């Protein structure tokens, strides 16, 4: 059986592919290839990928779109026509798009994965230029892909709910397959070195994610200001991550909080912005944090909170969208629109060491339910259904 997977958005920091879809594609493909050595996999890349070596094995064929470097000079319709023709000539039994959109003229059997519908739910969170560029996708490509795919993988029940809300998809076509989490560990020495590298105090709250409106960083900073006079242990909020969009007011909130909370204790500004961090520093920051705080307004899944739990960090997150189904009872849940609730939870985590220890233990245990191997196994089952009544080799 010939299975094609679109790998153009696979994890590739050099080309800027570092987000949720990139991680999903990388770990899904990696685990599929470990599980399945009998079926043929045709992996489609573009010239931004410098090395495909991690994905090469006996039952894998690597294909690179030869015309990708000319994409910006091609009309969208022509680009989709070329991509569709390139994929069709491989005579696939099914084609999987992990990033929702199918090539517009592709008519073979297909599977898509949908991650979230934030742009449909909250267009105001996105810049007008971005919305303008995405009109073709939101009004034509995504609707057409949802109609054309034989099966749709949703990464959470909440994403499935939004999918059905916006596109009225039948229940039988949608399969909820949660993401996995990588099993990584951090030594106390690595955490100590990272704290020293960034000149951080021993105790701090950590937010780590893209600096953009839906992450509710302004609300978190406002709540931290409210909580600050009552904090005894963690009197620093660390914000780390790459700059997204519409974030001018977020940086103003950082500056305002630091000015309002003067004089600083121990020379540490109460709110520290670190910017983007390396993977190693990211892990060490999470493992060394007093708590990982992530009161996001909207998530299709919320992988960072799962990663934090797997690393043993107590987690505070939102009681909305997909986050409650991801964390279960292993985190403190708050209304992200209530500065009071967030502030009270910060004070609880600061004062209550037994609570932090309990959340560390529960988080580690809960995260064990999520593995990329399971994600791949369930995805293979979807492939079998698309191929026809379990005819894929096992």
Q: Identify the bridge partners of residue 243 per DSSP, sorted by sequence position.
A: 211
Looking at residue 18, its pLDDT comes to 54
Which pLDDT value is given to residue 30?
95
Burial 176-208 (b: 16+ CB within 10 A, else e): bbbbbbeeeebeeebbeebbeebebbebbbbbb
In the sheet with 205-208, reading across from the earlier edge strand, the strands are 271-275, 237-240, 205-208, 291-294, 315-318, 332-334
Span 141-181, pLDDT tens digits: 999 999 999 999 999 999 999 999 999 999 999 999 999 99
How is the chain split into domains, by residue range?
Answer: 2-180+371-388, 188-367
Contact 228, 206 (CB under 8 A): no
Architecture per CATH, 2-180+371-388: 3-Layer(aba) Sandwich (3.40)
Provide the pLDDT for residue 15: 42
Q: Of how many residues is the chain composed?
A: 394
The segments of the chain whose pLDDT lies below 70 read: 11-19, 50, 67-78, 389-394
Contacts (Cβ under 8 Å, ≥6 apart) of 352: none
| Residue 240 and residue 200 in contact, taking contact as beta carbons nearer than 8 Å | no
Rounded distance between C-alpha atoms, residue 238 and residue 374, angstroms: 33
Q: What is the per-residue pLDDT for 70? A: 56
Q: Let me know: does 365 contact 315? Beta carbons within 8 Å.
A: no
Question: How would you classify residue 183: left for phi > 0, otherwise alpha for psi between -120 and 50, otherwise beta?
Answer: beta
Beta bridge partners of 42: 4, 61
Predicted pLDDT of residue 195: 95
Contacts with 250 (C-beta within 8 Å, 6 or more apart), sequence order: 211, 213, 217, 218, 221
CA 41 to CA 36: how far, in whole Å? 9
pLDDT at 49: 74
Q: Which of 287, 292, 279 is nearest to 327 (CA)?
A: 292
Q: Which residue has the tokens 């780390």?
A: 240
Task: State residue 43 phi and psi, 5-degree precision.
Answer: -105, 125
Summarised one tens digit per residue, pLDDT across range 102-138 is: 998 999 999 999 999 999 999 999 999 999 989 989 9
Query: Vertex 22, ends 211 and 325: CA angle to 5°?
Result: 70
Q: Which CATH number fits domain 188-367: 3.40.50.720, 3.40.50.2000, 3.30.420.40, 3.40.1190.20?
A: 3.40.50.2000
Largest CA distance in the chain: 69
């Amino acid at each position: 059986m010939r299975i094609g997977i679109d790998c153009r958005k696979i994890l590739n920091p050099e080309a800027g592919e570092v987000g949720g879809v990139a991680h999903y594609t990388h770990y899904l493909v990696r685990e599929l290839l470990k599980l399945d050595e009998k079926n043929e996999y045709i992996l489609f890349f573009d010239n931004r990928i410098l090395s495909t070596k991690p994905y090469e094995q006996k039952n894998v064929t690597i294909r690179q779109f030869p015309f990708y470097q000319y994409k910006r000079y091609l009309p969208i319709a022509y680009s989709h026509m070329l991509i569709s023709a390139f994929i069709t000539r491989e005579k696939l039994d099914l084609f999987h798009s992990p990033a929702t959109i199918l090539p517009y003229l592709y008519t073979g059997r297909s599977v898509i994965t949908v991650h979230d519908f934030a742009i449909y739910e909250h267009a105001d969170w996105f810049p007008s230029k971005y919305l303008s560029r995405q009109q073709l996708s939101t009004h034509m490509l995504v609707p057409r892909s949802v109609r054309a795919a034989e099966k749709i993988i949703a990464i959470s029940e909440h994403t499935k709910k939004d999918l059905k809300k916006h596109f009225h998809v039948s229940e039988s076509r949608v399969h909820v397959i949660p993401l996995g989490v990588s099993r990584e560990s951090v030594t106390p020495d690595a955490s100590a070195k990272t704290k020293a590298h960034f000149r951080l105090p021993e105790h701090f709250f950590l937010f780590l994610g893209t600096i953009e409106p839906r992450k509710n960083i302004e609300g978190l900073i406002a709540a931290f200001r409210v909580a600050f006079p009552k904090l005894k242990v963690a009197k620093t909020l660390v914000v780390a991550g790459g700059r997204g969009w519409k974030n001018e007011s977020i940086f103003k909130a950082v500056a305002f909080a630091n000015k309002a909370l003067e004089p600083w204790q121990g020379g540490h500004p109460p709110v520290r912005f670190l910017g983007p961090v390396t993977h190693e520093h990211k892990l060490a920051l999470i493992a060394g944090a007093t708590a990982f705080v992530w009161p996001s307004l909207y998530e299709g899944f919320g992988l960072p909170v799962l990663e934090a739990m797997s690393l043993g960090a107590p987690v505070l997150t939102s009681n909305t969208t997909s986050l409650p189904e991801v964390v279960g009872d292993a985190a403190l849940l708050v209304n992200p629109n209530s500065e009071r609730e967030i502030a009270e939870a910060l004070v609880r985590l600061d004062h209550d060491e037994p609570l932090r220890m309990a959340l560390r233990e529960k988080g580690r245990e809960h995260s064990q339910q999520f593995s990329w191997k399971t994600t791949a196994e369930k995805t293979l089952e979807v492939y079998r259904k698309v191929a026809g009544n379990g005819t894929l080799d096992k």
